[in-house]
A and B are shown apart, each in its own frame.
Chain A
Amino acid sequence: MKNIKIKADNLNVHYGEKQALFDVSMYMEEKQVTALIGPSGCGKSTFIRCLNRMNDVINICKVQGKIEIDGNDIYAPDMQVEQLRERVGMVFQKPNPFPKSIFENVAYGPRIHGIAEHKSDLEEIVVNSLKKAALFDEVKDRLYDAGTGLSGGQQQRLCIARAISVNPDIILMDEPCSALDPIATARIEELMADLKTEYTIIIVTHSMQQAARVSSRTGFFHLGKLVEVDKTETIFSNPSDQRTQDYITGRFG
C-alpha cells in the first residue's frame, strides 16, 4: 500500500439547484496514476476540478464535504487557493497555451510565484520543464516563437510543461488527449509513465483503453456517484458493480 496523497470524504457538489456529485469518497495514492472514467456528464470533471478548487470561479458552484491533500483540508478557510494551485497543477481538455512565446508560457508560473531569482534560474526551470514534458528537443530552436503555433500534441505537452514549471506534487489531467490524434496521444501516455515517478497524477478520460494502459487505480463515475473504485486490473477484469460491468463492456456510455 502506497502513501495516500489525496483523500475525498463525502463530497457533494451543487451547481445552483442541480446536484453534480453525490457523497463521493475516495483516495488517491502518491506517485501513481489514478484514472477516472464514466459517461459524459457523470461528474468526473467536476470532481477533478474540486481538487485544485478550479470550481471556485463558478459562482453558483457549492462544494460540501472534505478534501484532504497530505492531511490538510484544502477547503479550510485559511487555505490559500493560489498556493494550492501551485501544488496541484492542471492540464485541460483543449490545449490552452497563452498567446505568448513558448518560453513565456513555461516561465509564467515560476515568475509570478517568485520561484526563480535570476534570469539564469528561470531559463533552467524552463528548459527542465520542457525536457520533462518531452518537448524540449522539438522546440529548442524556437523558444521565442508563439506557443499557439505548435501542433495540438505539442501544445498539450507545452501545457504539461507549464503545469510542471511551478514544481507541483500533483498533476490533474482533464481528458488531456481528447483533442489529439493517436500518435500524439501515445506520446502523452508515455510521458505520463515517466512523470508518475515524480508526481501524483489524476486523469479523467473517456477512453477505457487509456485508463487501462496508464493507471494503477481507476474510479468509475455514473450520474454523479462514484460507483466503484479499485485497482485498474480489478475494474476491467472483475468489477463488483453491474453498472461498471455494463460500461466497460460497452453496453452504455
Chain B
Amino acid sequence: MTDRIEQRINSLNKRLNSEKRFRIYCIGAMSFALAWVLILFLNIFSSGYSAFYRTVIQVDVPFLNLIEDTTQFSEMSSEDINNLSMYSFSKKAIYGLFPDIEEKKDKKMLIRLFSIEFEQEIREFLKSNKSNINETETIYLTASDDVDQVNKGNYPRDLDEDKRRIKDIQLLFFDDLVDRGLVSYEFNLPFLMRGDSREPELAGVGGSIVGSLFTILVVLILSFPIGIFAAIYLEEFASKNRVTDFIEININNLAAVPSIVFGLLGLGIILNTFGLPRSTPLVGGIVLSLMTLPTIIIATRASLRAVPPSIREGALAVGATKMQAVMHHVVPVAMPGALTGTIIGLAQALGETAPLLLIGMVAFVVDVPQTPLDASASLPVQVYLWSESAERGYVEKTSATIMMLLGFLILMNLAAVLIRRKFETKW
C-alpha cells in the first residue's frame, strides 16, 4: 500500500518537474525574442536620437553694411528682399568671426563650416523680422554636416588630414568658436518639416512622412471598403461551391505573394497601361492596396465567422432580410475585428518598400508633396535611400527615420489593440 503511494508521489514529482522545465524553455524563448527586440531598439535609438538636434553657429550680421537705415527694411516687400544681393554681404558677416584671416583659401574653409544655404538663412531671418532689424543682429546659422558631426562627437578627428573631409584649419576655427561659446545645439525642426536634400544637414523626413501618410490614406480608401464588402459577400452570401473555394484559395495565395511582384504589376499595368503619374502616393497606394486586401479580407472573414449564428437566426426570425440581418447585427459585432485587421494591414503597407521602388517612389524628391498626385518618397524608401548615402550625417538620419517609422507602426498597432478592447462585444 505505502509502495503504491510512494510510486504515485514519484510519478507526480516527475510530472511537476517536467512542467517546471517546460516553463523554463518557454520563458527562455520569450526572453530571447525580447532581447533581440531590445537590441534592435537600442541600436537604432542610440544612433538615431542625435538627428533630432542640430548644430548652429552664432554669427553677428551687420545689417548696416547692407543698407543705410535698417528701418527701411520694414517698407520692403518679401520680393524686394529676395532681389537684394546678399551673397558677398553674408560671406563678409561670416568672415567677421575671424577678422584676422587674410588668405582666400582660409576664408573659403571658414565659409565651409556653414551649410550651403547660409545666405538663404540670413534672408529668411530678414524677411520674418523686417520691421524690427537692429544695426547688428545675432543669427544662428546651420553648421555644415561635417561640423555637426564633429560637434556631436561622431567624427574621428584623429584621422590623417587627407583622409578627412574636414580640414585641420577648419577644426581650429571650430574649436575657437566653441571656446567663444558661439556653437550651440537646437531642436532640429527642419528635419521634421523639410524634404530630402543632397546636403545631410538640410535633409528632412517631412516629405516622406507626408508621402507615407498620403499613401496610407489611398490604401485605406481603396482597400477598406473593398476588403470589407468582399469578406461579407464571401462569408455571408456566397454559396459554398468550387468557385468560392477557388476564390478563397486565391485570396490566401495573394497574401503570400512577394511584395515586389505587386510592384511589377503596378509598373506594368498601373503606370504603363493606365498611365497614372509615376512616383506618386496614388500609385503607391493602389499597389499597396493589392497587398493589404487579402489581410483585410482574411481578418474580416475570421471575425464574421466568430459571430454566433444564433444572432443571424434571431434577426431572420423577426422577418429581417438576409442583408438586414448581416448589416444590422453581424457586421457591427465583427467590426472591431475587421478594423484591427485593417490597421494591421495598413501597418504592413506603411513599412513596405520593395513595390514602391519599382513604381518610382524611390526618386529624389526635395519638395514636400501637397496632394497624392505629387511625386513623393515614403518613410521606408527614405531609409533605403539614406542608408546608401556616403555622408556621415545620413547615418543618424537613417536611424532617426527608422525611429519615426517604428513610432508610427507602434501607434497603429496600439490603436488596433485599443479599438479591439473598446468595441469588442461582451456576451
Interface set of A (CB-CB < 8 Å, partner B):
52, 54, 57, 59, 82-86, 89-90, 92, 94, 96-99, 108-109, 112-113, 146, 148, 159, 162-163, 165-166
Contacts and interface: CB of A to CB of B under 8 A. Distances in A.
A75 to B, nearest CB: 17
A82 B319 contact: yes
B319 A85 contact: yes
Contacts of B313: 54, 57, 90, 92, 96
Given A112-B324, A148-B426, A96 B318 contact: no
A54 B309 CA distance: 12
Contact of A163 (B239, B317, B322): B317
A162 B319 CA distance: 11
B319 A59 contact: no
Given A59-B239, A59-B240, A148-B427, A98 B319 contact: no
A99 B318 contact: no
B112 interface: no
Nearest to A87: B319
Interface residues of B, number: 23
Contacts of B320: 82, 108-109, 112
A96 B319 contact: no
B314 A159 contact: yes
B427 A89 contact: no
Contacts of A159: 314
Contacts of B312: 57
Contacts of B315: 98, 108
Interface string B301-338: 00000001011111111111110100011000100000
Interface in B286-307: none
Given A59-B240, A96-B308, A85 B317 contact: yes
Given A54-B313, A94-B310, A98-B329, A108 B239 contact: no
Contact of A90 (B239, B240, B317, B324): B317
B426 A85 contact: no
A84 B319 CA distance: 7
Given A108-B328, A112-B324, A148-B426, A99 B333 contact: yes
A89 B314 contact: no
A98 B329 CA distance: 7
Contacts of A86: 318-319
A16 to B, nearest CB: 12
Contact of B318 (A59, A94, A166): A166
B72 interface: no
A85 B333 contact: no
Which of A83, A96, A113 has the most chain B CB within a 10 Å cutoff? A96
Contacts of A85: 316-319
23 contacts: A54-B317, A57-B313, A82-B319, A82-B321, A84-B319, A85-B317, A85-B318, A90-B313, A90-B317, A92-B314, A92-B317, A94-B310, A96-B310, A98-B314, A99-B425, A108-B315, A108-B328, A109-B320, A112-B319, A112-B320, A146-B426, A148-B426, A166-B318
A44 to B, nearest CB: 17
Contact of A108 (B318, B321, B333, B425): B318
Given A57-B316, A94-B310, A112-B318, 12 more contacts: A52-B317, A59-B239, A82-B320, A85-B318, A96-B314, A98-B315, A99-B425, A99-B426, A112-B319, A112-B324, A163-B317, A163-B318
Of the candidates B313, B324, B333, the one having the most CB atoms from chain A within 10 angstroms of its own CB is B313
Contacts of A113: 319
Contacts of B328: 108, 112
Contacts of B314: 92, 96-98, 159, 162
A113 B318 CA distance: 9
B316 A54 contact: yes
Interface-central residue, A82, A84, A113, by most chain B CB under 10 Å = A82
B40 to A, nearest CB: 41
Contact of B317 (A89, A94, A148): A89
Contacts of B316: 54, 57, 85
A57 B322 CA distance: 9
Contacts of A89: 317-318
Contacts of B240: 59
A132 B337 CA distance: 37
Interface string B395-427: 000000000000000000000000000000111
B48 to A, nearest CB: 46
A86 B308 CA distance: 22
A165 B425 contact: no
Contacts of A54: 313, 316-317
A96 B314 CA distance: 6
A166 B427 contact: no
Contact of B319 (A94, A99, A109, A146): A109
Contacts of B426: 99, 146, 148
A156 to B, nearest CB: 12
Interface string B331-348: 001000000000000000
B98 to A, nearest CB: 76
Contacts of B333: 99
Interface in B218-276: 239-240
Contacts of A108: 315, 318, 320, 328
Contact of B311 (A57, A82, A83, A99): A99
Contacts of B319: 82-86, 109, 112-113, 166
Nearest to A108: B318
A175 B97 CA distance: 95
Interface string B164-202: 000000000000000000000000000000000000000
A154 to B, nearest CB: 15
